[in-house]
Structure 1
Amino acid sequence: MNNYQQRGFFANVDWVTILLYLALCVIGWFNIHAAVYDENNPSLIDSSTQYGKQFIFIITGLVIGTVILLLESRFLSSLAPAMYVVTVLLLMVVLVAGHKVGGNQAWIDMGGGFRLQPSEFAKFATCLLLARYLSGTNVKVTDPVSFLIAGGIIFLPMLLIKLQPDDGSTLVFCSLIFVLYREGLSPYFLIVGGLLVTLFITSLIFNSWYVVIAIAIVATLIVLSIKRNRPLVFKIIIGAIISMAFVFAVKPLYNKGLKDHQRKRIDVVLGLTQDKKHVGYNQNQSKIAIGSGGLWGKGYLQGTQTKYAFVPEQSTDFIFCTIGEEWGFAGSVVVMGLYLFLLLRIILIAERQRAPFSRIYGYGVASIIFCHVLINIAMAIGLMPVIGIPLPFISYGGSSLWSFTILLFILLKLDSNRMGIIYA
């Protein structure tokens, strides 16, 4: 037994991360209480209310987290394929016999008013199998076969979730590209992806010919500056031609590939249309609530937008506007600071791992949480279209809280054993 093991189980756990987790859970609990406050049921632990149920979810989540910390680390790695298969099967069951809420057939009715959302649990299962595969012998992301297999592991649950259709959760899986990048994927994939998104947005805002002319001017200036490097010049010309073709394809794809309500949400965010009473109502009310909070906020249970339920889904997708209204800019910064600290801590944990499996899984955890936080807050303040996606540890919901708890505590367990035997 080495010195690290002699320190004891609790000494090996990263308590800083657990304290951050608890802080976010408590903040979520109080803000759910504020978002759906019922004067007839004021108690924070009244199980007939959402905030009472959230308290039960938090306690249950702590039990789940403790159980994970008591498991053997090797067990988590060996169980990855089985977890992945089970979640994929559950995603298939949802498509056949799932419970529909808000247009998405994404839940399994478990009885007693509780519904399970498999797409939430598919996130940690996918991270585990991806880590298991990429940490295998002779597996390299730069190898085409390895890249395709890794991509397939990510794509299968994405496809099944898209069929529900749950666009928010589908988009979250795209964040796992950062895991592949950390493991050696060329940065050109990220650069090209960023350029395509930029071209897509600019092509919607401006006339296609203006965008094409801008591409031609930029490409010409670059070619003239490096004209002696013929291979690079050739690549730039080909890239410019492909970009121009993409620009002309954007609007036909946009009009035919997206549903009417999806296009309207994007149009509202880009300022192409004004629809504050219908498609843009939720987001507009959210911005009003956040803006009305000022610097220090209106105070706990004092938010008028919150109290009179102007913002739909305020305890779930739009929980951040409750924070903004009642705790103000200062409170919002504190919450975002906690998320930033948590993400940095997760990356630190990932980087100090001796086992590739643990490091890869750690980056998966960071990618998933970062994507959720970015999209949810950007949606609440009007920088992104409305997409149904919870704010980690804060939004109401057992499936969401438990899945993020499992996601995080598996990493904490792997980290607690990082100085022990190195496993694949």
Structure 2
Amino acid sequence: VIIIALSILSLKFSVVTASIIAAILIFGFHFLGRKKRPQILQPIAVLMLCIGFSFGVKYFYNHILKDHQKDRISLWLRLEKDPEKLHKMKQTIMYNLNESEKAISSGGLYGKGFMEGTRTTGKFVPEQHTDYIFSTVGEEWGFLGSALVIILFVALLLRILYLSELQKSQFSRVYGYSVASILFVHFMINIGMVMGLIPTVGIPLPFFSYGGSGLWGFTILLFIFVKLDSNRINEW
């Protein structure tokens, strides 16, 4: 049922959304009753996922992904051999990434200062206030500021995982790991996309990207988990 639902979601709406939900489900099911099931089931499940992934990649690429998504993957994997088409793709599809990398590299070690980034104030990077907000961080705060942001995100994730392990309720534990997986997927994809480590995907950076719905959504997720954890503490 879950596989059918994710397939319909990827076909009719967004592949990214379906991928995020799949990641959440994998984390959730992994920690759901993990202490009760035989250890042999875990490697079997991983093997089945790997086999399914191996046989499904070609169909997914040819029949589900859109043309612009295929072009992004082709550029990322350097599959395009036609020089003329490759140059055109770099001028269009790769424009955001090229400007983002220029902005980050121009920040240097210490950055140019808050609101002092030339490429940021000049609006060279499209969507620099939403999906490409990390390029602004890299230019204005430099390597040290960017590293600090990453460290804070990692600390937040580790704290959520630590508190999840302390939960007495199975629901609270699974919910905590689901929140951590949501934040981790957004964090990994967004920063990886901005630095060219993965293909470009329209996904916000939690608590940084502009947009009220995203900010409220991530805040509510954390608020509910904090409330669940406070109930655990009050039980003592």
Q: Which TM-score applies when normalising by structure 1?
A: 0.48
Q: Please give the secondary structure, in 1, of the residue aligned with 2:174.
A: helix
Shift of residue 402 of structure 1? 0.4
Q: Is the 8 A contact 1:318 1:380 kept in 2?
A: yes
Q: Residues of 2 paired with 1:390 and 1:165: CA distance?
A: 17
Q: Does 1:374 align with 2:181?
A: no
Structure 1 residues 359 and 256 mapped into 2: Cα distance closer, same or farther (>3 Å)?
A: closer
Q: Does 1:186 align with 2:69?
A: no
Q: Is the 8 A contact 1:167 1:387 kept in 2?
A: no
Q: Is the 8 A contact 1:354 1:419 kept in 2?
A: no
Query: Superposition pairs for residues 80-159 of structure 1, below 5 Å?
Result: 151=2, 156=5, 158=6
Q: Which of residues 272, 278, 286 is equivalent to 2:79?
A: 272
Q: Residues of 1 paired with 2:187 and 2:67: CA distance?
A: 26
Q: Is the 8 A contact 2:11 2:64 kept in 1?
A: no
Shift of residue 272 of structure 1? 2.2
Counterpart position of 1:169: 17
The one-letter code of the counterpart of 2:137 is I
Give the aligned length. Answer: 221
Q: Does 1:328 align with 2:177?
A: no
Measured against aligned partners, the alpha-carbon deviations of 1:120-159 in whole angstroms (never above 9, x if no partner) come to xxxxxxxxxxxxxxxxxxxxxxxxxxxx6xx47xx74x56
Q: Is the 8 A contact 2:10 2:64 kept in 1?
A: no
The one-letter code of the counterpart of 2:73 is I
Q: Is the 8 A contact 1:181 1:187 kept in 2?
A: no
Q: Does 1:301 align with 2:115?
A: yes
Q: Does 1:282 align with 2:96?
A: yes
Q: Please give the secondary structure, in 2, of the residue aligned with 1:269.
A: helix
Q: Residues of 1 paired with 2:202 and 2:208: CA distance?
A: 14
Structure 1 residues 279 and 338 mapped into 2: Cα distance closer, same or farther (>3 Å)?
A: same
Measured against aligned partners, the alpha-carbon deviations of 1:384-421 in whole angstroms (never above 9, x if no partner) come to 11111111111111110001011011000000010445
Counterpart position of 2:38: none
The one-letter code of the counterpart of 2:136 is T
The one-letter code of the counterpart of 1:171 is S
Q: Residues of 1 paired with 2:58 and 2:195: CA distance?
A: 26
Q: Residues of 2 paired with 1:190 and 1:291: CA distance?
A: 39
Q: Does 1:343 align with 2:175?
A: no
The one-letter code of the counterpart of 1:327 is W
Shift of residue 356 of structure 1? 1.0
Shift of residue 276 of structure 1? 2.1
**Greater relative contact order (CA < 8 Å, ≥ 6 in sequence):** 1
The one-letter code of the counterpart of 2:77 is L
Query: Superposition pairs for residues 26-105 of structure 1, below 5 Å?
Result: none
Q: Residues of 1 paired with 2:59 and 2:231: CA distance?
A: 53
Shift of residue 195 of structure 1? 7.1
Q: Which of residues 409, 414, 421 is equivalent to 2:228?
A: 414
The one-letter code of the counterpart of 2:76 is V
Q: Residues of 2 paired with 1:414 and 1:325: CA distance?
A: 38
The one-letter code of the counterpart of 2:78 is G
Counterpart position of 1:401: 215
Counterpart position of 1:263: 70
Q: Is the 8 A contact 1:375 1:389 kept in 2?
A: yes
State, as a whole percentage, how many aligned pairs show the same letter.
Answer: 49
Shift of residue 192 of structure 1? 5.1
Structure 1 residues 266 and 406 mapped into 2: Cα distance closer, same or farther (>3 Å)?
A: same
Q: Is the 8 A contact 1:167 1:388 kept in 2?
A: no
Structure 1 residues 161 and 393 mapped into 2: Cα distance closer, same or farther (>3 Å)?
A: farther
Rg (Cα) greater in structure: 1
The one-letter code of the counterpart of 1:302 is E
Q: Which TM-score applies when normalising by structure 2?
A: 0.84
Q: Residues of 2 paired with 1:317 and 1:294: CA distance?
A: 21
The one-letter code of the counterpart of 1:357 is F
Measured against aligned partners, the alpha-carbon deviations of 1:242-291 in whole angstroms (never above 9, x if no partner) come to xxxx4xx8556523332110100111111223432111111121111112
